A and B are shown apart, each in its own frame.
Chain A
């Protein structure tokens, strides 16, 4: 058990360091921050509307926007973590050492995701801090932490898990293309039948956070206006639950793959 724990800790530390030192990641999130400025729910807009509307509504809008653009960065920078092991040929080395695959993969997932969440959290935090200063109200920060934990974190866990797992079977550029298509189809469209194409958008499986925003905070997002509290809580539990299941399935798949070699 202590061996597994050591592998897990080591993997988290190594992955976090590798990912956090990627200048490209910081640069990408800086550009995404700039791209998000004129967007609906962007910083200039929320600062303008904040005095005239509920602060929870403004924070939910901000969380959903950061999720909507930021998760593209999370997905793309998590997607090359597994293929990298193969390219630099450390997967063969890992396969030859004693069993610690599950701990290593969970460590890789948590370490990589934690690092890519740093710029995203700073981006989110800048918005909340600006809002707090603008409103001269410290409760904004407390509420900002609540919406961050409820909307941003579950989405990131979900997207991170799939972005780590899918490139095990898909070519990275193909996964990235499919992800962008999915992100629009499964998150940004208004829910069916308000939109003519059947979509996951507006269901409990919406990692952009619109279901949680509506269900938990009663703040409409992406054409979704009504969802019960129970459905909001279910979404909050389902997204991390599916993420855990995905990492478990990845472990089983890679173990099976290793036995086939």
Chain B
């Protein structure tokens, strides 16, 4: 707990603020849609809020993982410590994803209470408790995926900006390629089915596949992080090139 507090103090508002901005901005956006436009229907607000948790929070986590997780002003000191930098980075990853998860959990609970979310067809008949638990898969699956992919890309490509650009490109493509993902066999790569295609019959397997992808990539991250040369290269070239 003390360590988590210490890490958060180092990061400061830079990491604490993005999910809060998304949640508060999203809430204000939803109010604006209802009050200022002629489209303030239940469907519009539900789509908007579901997208907030499913699309925007995980993207923020992915970009921060790619850009900031491996940057450390005292990297050379970190590499000389008895606790390996791999463990430190994975702790930071866990802390960042947990903070995003807390914000997404609060957002989803509010959406669930007011019924302002896209209920996937596959879970519509489930009991309330089951639906409540399944609702959290909306954000948890893409959060795990983006968080793990962000770190893996930064480690494999050895360049934070390239990794962040690719994440942005993937995110944009995913928003436009709904038909492509629903009609081909690429179900495990469909990141935002709740927002764009809640009626699909593979919603639950898709969520589990995304979580599994994230979980499988984490040991790979840890393995890549053990190479100090790679970490040092990312930290220096990413910042000064």
Q: Hey, which bits of chain A sit against chain B, CB under 8 A?
A: 18, 22, 24-25, 27-28, 31-32, 35, 38-40, 68-69, 72-73, 76-77, 79-80, 84, 87-88, 171-174, 176-177, 179-181, 183-184, 188, 192-193, 196-198
- Please pick, from B38, B44, B169, B240, the residue contacting A72 in the complex, using a CB distance under 8 A: B169
Known contacts A183-B172, A196-B37, A197-B48; A173 and B166 CB within 8 A of each other: no
Sample 17 A-B pairs with CB under 8 A, ordered by A number: A24-B162, A27-B159, A28-B166, A69-B169, A76-B161, A171-B14, A173-B14, A173-B18, A173-B68, A179-B168, A180-B172, A181-B56, A184-B172, A188-B175, A196-B41, A197-B39, A198-B36
Further contacts, 5 of them, CB under 8 A, given A24-B157, A76-B164, A88-B240: A32-B165, A35-B170, A173-B18, A176-B63, A198-B32
A68: chain B residues at CB < 8 Å are 172
A174: chain B residues at CB < 8 Å are 14, 17-18, 21
Check B168 against A197 for contact (C-beta < 8 Å).
Answer: no
Check A24 against B161 for contact (C-beta < 8 Å).
Answer: yes
Check B165 against A76 for contact (C-beta < 8 Å).
Answer: yes
Residue B151 at the chain A interface, CB threshold 8 Å: no
A84: chain B residues at CB < 8 Å are 239-240
Check A173 against B63 for contact (C-beta < 8 Å).
Answer: yes
Check B171 against A176 for contact (C-beta < 8 Å).
Answer: no
Give the CA-CA distance A177 to B38 in the complex, in Å: 29
B36: chain A residues at CB < 8 Å are 198
Shortest beta-carbon distance from A65 to chain B in Å: 11
B18: chain A residues at CB < 8 Å are 173-174, 177
Known contacts A77-B161, A193-B37, A197-B44; A173 and B67 CB within 8 A of each other: yes
Give the CA-CA distance A101 to B141 in the complex, in Å: 47
Check A193 against B39 for contact (C-beta < 8 Å).
Answer: yes
B 169-194 contacts with A by CB, 8 A = 169-173, 175-177, 180
Residue B64 at the chain A interface, CB threshold 8 Å: yes
B166: chain A residues at CB < 8 Å are 28, 31
Known contacts A24-B162, A198-B37; A39 and B48 CB within 8 A of each other: no
Check A176 against B164 for contact (C-beta < 8 Å).
Answer: yes
Residue B75 at the chain A interface, CB threshold 8 Å: no
Give the CA-CA distance A173 to B163 in the complex, in Å: 11
Question: Which among A25, A193, A197 has the greatest number of chain B C-beta atoms within 10 A?
Answer: A197
Check B173 against A76 for contact (C-beta < 8 Å).
Answer: no
Check A27 against B162 for contact (C-beta < 8 Å).
Answer: yes
Residue B86 at the chain A interface, CB threshold 8 Å: no
Residue B49 at the chain A interface, CB threshold 8 Å: no
Question: Which among B56, B159, B172, B177 has the greatest number of chain A C-beta atoms within 10 A?
Answer: B172
A39: chain B residues at CB < 8 Å are 173, 176
Known contacts A35-B173, A173-B64, A198-B32; A73 and B39 CB within 8 A of each other: no
Residue B119 at the chain A interface, CB threshold 8 Å: no
A179: nearest chain-B partner, CB-CB: B168
- Please pick, from B14, B67, B175, B241, the residue contacting A184 in the complex, using a CB distance under 8 A: B175
A25: chain B residues at CB < 8 Å are 162
Residue B152 at the chain A interface, CB threshold 8 Å: no
A172: chain B residues at CB < 8 Å are 67
Give the CA-CA distance A43 to B164 in the complex, in Å: 25
Give the CA-CA distance A38 to B174 in the complex, in Å: 12
Shortest beta-carbon distance from B196 to chain A in Å: 13
Residue B33 at the chain A interface, CB threshold 8 Å: yes
B97: chain A residues at CB < 8 Å are none
B237: nearest chain-A partner, CB-CB: A24
Check A196 against B33 for contact (C-beta < 8 Å).
Answer: yes
Residue B60 at the chain A interface, CB threshold 8 Å: yes
B158: nearest chain-A partner, CB-CB: A24
Check A176 against B37 for contact (C-beta < 8 Å).
Answer: no
Check A77 against B14 for contact (C-beta < 8 Å).
Answer: no
Shortest beta-carbon distance from B74 to chain A in Å: 14
Question: Which among A24, A32, A39, A172 has the greatest number of chain B C-beta atoms within 10 A?
Answer: A24
Residue B59 at the chain A interface, CB threshold 8 Å: yes
Give the CA-CA distance A87 to B14 in the complex, in Å: 17
A27: chain B residues at CB < 8 Å are 157, 159, 162
B173: chain A residues at CB < 8 Å are 35, 39
A73: chain B residues at CB < 8 Å are 165
Give the CA-CA distance A68 to B161 in the complex, in Å: 18
Known contacts A24-B241, A77-B165, A197-B33; A177 and B48 CB within 8 A of each other: no
- Please pick, from A32, A88, A173, A181, the residue contacting B164 in the complex, using a CB distance under 8 A: A173
B 36-71 contacts with A by CB, 8 A = 36-39, 41, 44, 48, 56, 59-60, 63-64, 66-68
